[in-house]
Amino acid sequence: MSNTNENLKPLKLYPSQKRTTIMRVSKRNYTIIKKIAKNEERSITYIADRVLEKGLLAEQQNQEHK
């Protein structure tokens, strides 16, 4: 892993990437995200982005501990 700085940057999504964000979420997670979005009155893409960011951060931290 030579480009560690690249991995540490927060995930920035442009409007054109929003649709693909949802595609990267599994079907089971999508239904959960849909419920959360309805409860919090946020868009599904917003919640999906947060979930993916958290997932990527968790993955990153796991790799650092190894």
Please list the pLDDT of the chain residue by residue as tens digits (66 residues): 444 444 455 556 555 555 555 566 677 777 777 888 888 888 877 877 787 777 766 766 677 766
CB 51 within 8 A of CB 29: yes
Q: How far apart are CA 46 and CA 21, in angstroms?
A: 10
2: left (phi over 0), alpha (psi -120 to 50) or beta: alpha
CB count within 10 Å of CB 52 equals 18
Helix (H, G, I), strand (E, B) or coil at 4: helix
